């Protein structure tokens, strides 16, 4: 009895085809068995008289490498996403004192660098709220009645989605006139501008909570996963 194995890799159909033919010359019968798995490579023709038992192992190995490559691509994409958003920061408005009349918001803001993608967090008591004003004149005149947005949940989060200046004030009567307002100037995420320090600050100037620590940890896990995938492919 003779055994012939034919392996065909087709770039046109993107399919891998393997068939073998068992020839029984005494009975004059020919039995064909075959199947295909989706693959893409070059054309190969091989005559393998004694290695047919190893073809299943070869196919499984190819499938395993294909799936691990897909996982590797997914992990690399995730790592790129993490590195892209790794510089986003969360700024607690007013620092430890929060959104309150006693805070010097001009000094606090001068010690910050606000970039696109960052978030502002207003923490305040039920005596206060947050009103976003639409112009510089409304901000200077404390015209809180013309606010474009109002928040009063005690822990308001505002995302800085584009470069420019935004104005915020407390809508409680009299609080804006007492200095409870802040002007936020946002720069593009790629900007290298640094905050202007102020020697007369009443509150700590470094009050933003960076997410870089969490990003670093996540990136370590992704790196470990990619390493395991590569080792798995080599084994």
What does the alpha-carbon distance between residue 64 and residue 35 come to, in Å, rounded to a whole number?
A: 18
Q: 193 and 157 in one domain?
A: yes
Q: 206 and 102 in one domain?
A: yes
Q: 99 and 37 in one domain?
A: no
Q: 202 and 105 in one domain?
A: yes
Q: What is the pLDDT of residue 233?
A: 57
Q: 30 and 64 in one domain?
A: no
Contact (CB, 8 A) for 112 and 91: yes
The whole-number mean pLDDT for each consecutive block of 10 residues of the chain, a chain of 235 residues, reads 43 43 45 44 46 61 66 70 67 96 96 96 97 97 96 97 97 96 93 46 42 51 62 57
Print the domain residue range for 230. Answer: 58-86+211-235
Q: What is the pLDDT of residue 6?
A: 42
Q: 105 and 73 in one domain?
A: no
CATH number at residue 206: 2.60.40.420
Tally of domains in the chain? 3
Q: What is the pLDDT of residue 148?
A: 96
Q: 95 and 205 in one domain?
A: yes
Q: 153 and 78 in one domain?
A: no
Residues 6+ apart with CB under 8 A from 168: 93, 120, 122, 130, 131, 132, 133, 158, 181, 182, 183, 184
Q: What is the pLDDT of residue 102?
A: 94
Residues 6+ apart with CB under 8 A from 184: 109, 114, 120, 160, 165, 166, 167, 168
Q: 81 and 8 in one domain?
A: no
Q: 202 and 111 in one domain?
A: yes
């Amino acid at each position: 009895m003779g055994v012939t194995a034919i392996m065909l890799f087709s770039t046109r159909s993107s399919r891998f085809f393997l068939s073998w033919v068992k020839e029984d010359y005494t009975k004059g019968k020919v039995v064909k068995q075959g199947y295909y798995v989706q693959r893409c490579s070059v054309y190969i023709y091989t005559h393998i008289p004694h290695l047919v038992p190893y073809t299943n192992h070869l196919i499984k190995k190819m499938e395993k490498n294909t799936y691990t490559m897909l996982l590797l691509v997914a992990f690399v994409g995730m790592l790129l996403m993490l590195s892209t958003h790794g510089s986003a920061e969360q700024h607690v408005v007013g620092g430890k004192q929060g959104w309150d009349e006693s805070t010097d918001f001009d000094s606090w803001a001068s010690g910050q660098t606000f970039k696109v993608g960052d978030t502002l967090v207003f923490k305040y008591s039920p005596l206060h709220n947050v009103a976003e004003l639409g112009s510089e004149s409304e901000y200077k005149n404390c015209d809180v009645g013309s606010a474009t947005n109002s928040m009063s949940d005690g822990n308001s989060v505002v995302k800085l989605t584009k470069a420019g200046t935004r104005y915020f004030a407390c809508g409680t009567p009299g609080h804006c006139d007492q200095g409870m307002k802040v002007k936020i100037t946002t720069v593009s995420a790629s900007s290298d501008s640094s905050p202007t320090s102020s020697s007369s600050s009443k509150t700590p100037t470094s009050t933003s909570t960076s997410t870089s620590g969490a990003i670093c940890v996540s990136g370590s896990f992704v790196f470990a996963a990619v390493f395991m995938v590569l080792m798995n492919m080599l084994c």
